[in-house]
Structure 1
Amino acid sequence: MVANAWTDVWVLRVPTVILQQYDEKSKAETIAPPDLARLPVPPELGGSSLFYVFCRTFHKGTLELPAFPSVAFKLRQAMHEEIDFVKATKIVQMDPALATKLIQVANSPLYLTANRVKTCQSAITRLGLVATRNLIFSMGMKGLFNAGSPHIIKLMQDMWKRSLQLSVISSVLAAKTGQVDPDKALLGGLIVRIGAIPFLSFAENFRSEYHGSAELEGALPIIQGPVGQYMLAKWGFADEYIELPLIAEQWSYSSGTDRLDLADVVRLAAWHSYVGTPKMGDLPPITELPAYAKLKDATLTPEQSLQVLYDAKEQIAETMKVFGQ
């Protein structure tokens, strides 16, 4: 392209990374909260003040959402530019407890290796910057599942435990199939139920005489998907993560492609996470899942997939212990 100027001009060159950051910020600012009251509501929630007040508050955009974990945010912002392991280490070490836990994770059974790392920088070097960023966010998420009242904290802790279990199973299955990055699957499994956090926090500040346990547990499956999707979009996550809270447990969902993707792995992990629980009776046969049909090399038959998790149960338990500390 050629441009002719009649006078002297200044040419300002804006780096692509700045334009990308502005574009992400603009998108986040224009996202509108969905109207949850339009969703199908079971009869037991028909007269729920908590449910409808929450839906109205959320739709108006006045609901207080959790803040993105600070160190993870700083690391993500820095990675918009080209940073090295030294700079990444300085950012992570802003939170000594998080840096210590990163070393523990790098030495955990999730990253099977004979050589243990002893410093934060060596852990980041082993894991790589992208995996480090995902892990830092994952570890920082535990602080979001927090509350003051005994009843709500119990629900929060249960939600965190289930999210962590789904996360680790997703990583194990991703490693077995070899088609999805296990670190992406680890993060993907962890954010599926993130939409429960604003609702439970809202319920904690709502007068307790207006709701009970059954009401909370009945509302969560309806609310956590769309709220989680909205939160992840506001936080600037990639599309493949944003859709997970909505479709992770839609067993018949198909992306329309033959290749196994992140959502498929997380969905298979979600199916396996219910094995041995009361909800197992509501599960369709695994062979009916479109995600299962993509395992063309039969690496995970129904029997083999359960055997994979059985063989990895110690790995899963130890990794959950490290993340759950």
Structure 2
Amino acid sequence: MTDGLPDVLLSRFGESPLRIGTRTSALARVQAEHVATLISKHIPGIQTEIVPTQVSADLWPGDLAELGGKGAFSKEIDRALVSGQIDAAVHCMKDVPGDVPLAEGTAFGAYLPRDDVHDIVVTRDGTPLADLPAGSLIGTSSVRRRAQLTMYRPDLRTERIRGNIDTRLAKLEGSDSRYAALILARAGLKRLGVLGQHHYEVLPVEFHPSDAGVVSMVPAVGAGVIGIQARQADAPVMRLLDELNDPPTARHILAERTMLHMLRGHCNSPIAGYASTTGDGALSLFGMVFNRDGSQFVRSHAWGEADDPATLGSRVAADLLHQGARRLITATRK
């Protein structure tokens, strides 16, 4: 721990708490409470307060593009952070857009150790995805999931389903439900403590050809990672976040988000990207870009030095663009 930092923080937050901004959903609150617990363990005696903020995306049932994209998940929280109403903000990194800059004067000071990145198929009775009848309706709010599912099972129907995890699960399990299954992130159900209450099938993250008989689901950029954002000028809080930061996760996120930034994808771009560390300590980055129905895609996989994740992200993005990723991304804007 940095010498003197606990005293600085305890003095500053002795009478007023360190305010942690988050969305209002149950999952967002759980994640913010986890961050508050980590801070309290790191600086015993410090006061923290969770400050929930209703964001535009959680109120909007339609296409996020009509609200300006994924930035609708965070713009109200960004305003609270920049204006000093909160001291830090907690985000799921998969919801942080790659085509717009962070709020001026802010930065991510910490990425917590990555959680599970797998997507799962949740059904009412445990029917495997391969056994769902043709024409079955699958609920997912993700264009990335929809494109990959359609690539493997074009005979299934998909429909956008918005709302918090509990809201989506209720729509699946209702007696009059139209849905045969949902595709969700396993990490979200685990964090809420409800994973064991549902029938689910884990989808592999490794890419498989569509004729291999295996439905793959390459993760979203930032999947399974909680990021903590603060004002760059707030040196004590930024120092605290630096001590909470997980360096391997930070390297993976930098590789993935460098790729995403160079691709200039938007909220309707089916883009997947997943970085990891190999057994010999190198970085691995796999990237894919799809059209809307998964009938066309480009993919790239490269390895690089652990201390230069940005270069690896640039290489993968350049390869994807060389293969035609820009055409696929542009087409999804229509």
TM-score by length of 1: 0.28
- Structure with more strand by fraction: 2
Q: Which has the larger radius of gyration?
A: 1
TM-score by length of 2: 0.28
